[in-house]
Structure 1
Amino acid sequence: MQVTRLQSVTGLSYTVAMCNRTGTGCIRTLQKVKLTLYYEALCPASEEFVVNHLYKIFENGLISIIDLKFSPYGNAKISSNGTIVCQHGEWECLLNAVEACAIHAWPHVSDHFMIIHCLESLCHEDKYAQWRTCFKKLNLNPKPVDDCQTSGLGHKLELEYADEIKALKPPHKFVPWVVVNEQPLNEEYEDFMSYICKAYKGTNVPHACKGLTDPIVVYKDNVKPLNRQVSFNEED
């Protein structure tokens, strides 16, 4: 197994485990725990989760047992004429589509996570208008994303993400909506690493799991009110 060191634009350094050509030392996809993040740009809690929590799985090696997927659509709605209307306005719609295009352009999770982290960091700092600087900071050619946007592919990708989040059962209540092996974590989403370690059934348990306690089961009547700036699904 090859270990690659990645440097983020915020100075965070990630160690990412990569499979070698023979596959030796890799976790098979079927053994991995599925982690899906449903989120939207300009949602304070989504920014917080990506920037200050999710990056840790790249740093501590937990990504080696995770099949991570991003769904950048959130609580947006599709109008009668087919346009997408976002909770946080046109900037959110633009950035959601940019991130969708980045995922399409760089399908390997360690690649598109870097640009998602950069974009969400700028949103977190209220500098989202500078989103194009992420390409230069990460030494990426912006043409694939620009072509994706101008060709209409970005809009098509967003419609696909819309179908995904609408199909969730139970439906999402808010974003960020974190799902582990098809089970939503609800208000406990910041404890996602404990749930991943508990769900993992393989024998090659990452060292990061050994320092985590099992997640505490929270019964519905005992759920504490959210004190984070999540963005609620307006259909609820």
Structure 2
Amino acid sequence: MLNKKQVIFCCMCLLIVHSEQQKINVAVYFESLCPDSQKFIIDQLYPNWDDIRDYINIKFIPFGKSISLDNGTKFACQHGSQECKGNRIMSCALREIPNQDLQVEYLRCFMDVYKFAKINDSENGQKCAQLLGLDYNRLMYNCYQTKEGTNLQLQAEIETNAIQPQFVPTIVYNGVFDQKLQDSSILNFRDTVCSLIRQIYPEGCSYRTVVQI
């Protein structure tokens, strides 16, 4: 027979598992130099992150409408070679960042500064890595410039091709693409997510008018 402490511990474990099971899975498929991707992360995701962070598991897939060539020897990207570079840097950085709060912080910074890479090829989001305490040089030498960086982008390609996005960024909920949710997310990401959250947690998200989807 379990003692009181063991019962309390078991109940806490069940609550944690239940909470994790009830979280909404959100996948964001995007590109480093896509203006719509920049706008989504900087203006839609980042400012509203605190309202939704406790209710979702978020995953970022930086690839978009890119393609691999010769088994990853080369990549071709919608906005040119600098975009391929940015996608690869983000793949390496995201692998090293331990939690989604810090990933959001990094991407907000990176998408803001990397747009200047079009006119300054030495801009690689160095300050964004430093902001998160990442060793930028190690990131570049041990991942970006190695087979590891290639493999991360090839995996991103596999995951992106499974969705076959027609628009970048594409936002997918619980593994299933829904055009209505996609359109709503681009216009108002917070209200879209909060509408889904409130189907599980009626008091979820801080109070604002929320669109019905």
- The TM-score by the shorter chain falls in which range? 0.7 to 0.9
Structure 1 unaligned regions, length at least 5: 1-21, 217-236
Q: Does residue 145 of structure 1 match 2:150?
A: no
Contact 1:35–1:180 (Cα < 8 Å) also in 2: yes
Q: Does residue 134 of structure 1 match 2:142?
A: no
Mapping of residues 39-188 of structure 1, within 5 Å: 39-59=30-50, 61-80=51-70, 82=72, 83-124=74-115, 129-130=122-123, 131-146=125-140, 147-168=142-163, 171-181=164-174, 182-184=176-178, 185-188=181-184
Contact 2:63–2:87 (Cα < 8 Å) also in 1: yes
CA shift for structure 1 position 87: 1.2
RMSD: 2.6
Q: Decide which structure has the larger Cα Rg and report it.
A: 2
| Equivalent-residue separation in structure 2 for 1:81 and 1:66 (angstroms) | 34
| Equivalent-residue separation in structure 2 for 1:173 and 1:57 (angstroms) | 25
Q: TM-score, normalised by structure 2?
A: 0.78
Task: Answer 1 or 2: which has greater strand percent.
Answer: 1
| Equivalent-residue separation in structure 1 for 2:173 and 2:200 (angstroms) | 16
| Equivalent-residue separation in structure 1 for 2:36 and 2:145 (angstroms) | 29
Q: Does residue 34 of structure 1 match 2:25?
A: yes
| Percent of paired sites with the same residue | 25
Structure 2 unaligned regions, length at least 5: 1-11
Alignment length (residue pairs): 191
Q: AA paired with 1:193?
A: R
| Equivalent-residue separation in structure 1 for 2:115 and 2:136 (angstroms) | 22
CA shift for structure 1 position 172: 1.5
Bigger mean CA offset, 100-109 vs 124-133: 124-133
| Equivalent-residue separation in structure 2 for 1:106 and 1:159 (angstroms) | 19
CA shift for structure 1 position 144: 4.6
Bigger mean CA offset, 185-194 vs 101-110: 185-194
Q: Cα deviation per residue 1:187-211 (whole Å; 9 max; x = unaligned)?
A: 3223222222222243473342x31
